Amino acid sequence: MPSTKTVISTAASVAASAMLIHSIARRYIPYELRDYIYSQFRTFLSSFSSQITLVIEEFEGLDYNQLFKAADTYLRTIIPPETRKFRVSLAPKATNISVSMERN
């Protein structure tokens, strides 16, 4: 097992390297490219998440989605925004919930 001194030295070195890379990136890489790289990195990291978000739309076509009001009341503050998304609906006369992938 490495000594405490080695661990602290390595952590300091990694932190200094990260700060150097960050300052170089801010100075020489355009904002749009940095934003794109950051969003791709977040997408990559979110693929390892075990959480999902169900997107329940207010209307299913022209019909009111019966799940919307219940979901709006219950799930509003529970689910984090960075999770994957699904589209969930229940038509007025349907007995089964429809679940599909949400675009974007």
68 φ/ψ angles, rounded to the nearest 5 degrees: -60, -50
Q: How confident is the model at residue 57 (pLDDT cuts 50, 70, 90)?
A: confident
Structure confidence at residue 28 as a pLDDT band (50, 70, 90): very high
Give, for 64, the enclosing helix (H) or strand (E): strand 63-64
Measure the CA–CA gap between 27 and 30, rounded to whole angstroms.
8
Tell me how far apart the alpha carbons of residues 94 and 20 are, in angstroms, rounded to a whole number.
Answer: 58
Taking the C-alpha atoms of residue 5 and residue 9, their distance in angstroms, rounded to an integer, is 6
Query: What is the C-alpha separation between 30 and 49, in angstroms, rounded?
Result: 29
Residue with the bigger pLDDT between 84 and 11: it is: 11
Q: What count of other Cβ atoms lies within 10 Å of the Cβ of residue 78?
A: 7
- Type and span of the H or E element at 4: helix 4-28
Write down the domain spans for the chain.
Answer: 4-46, 52-101
As a whole number, mean pLDDT of residues 10-24 equals 93
* pTM of the complete model beyond 0.85: no
Q: What is the mean pLDDT of residues 40-55?
A: 75
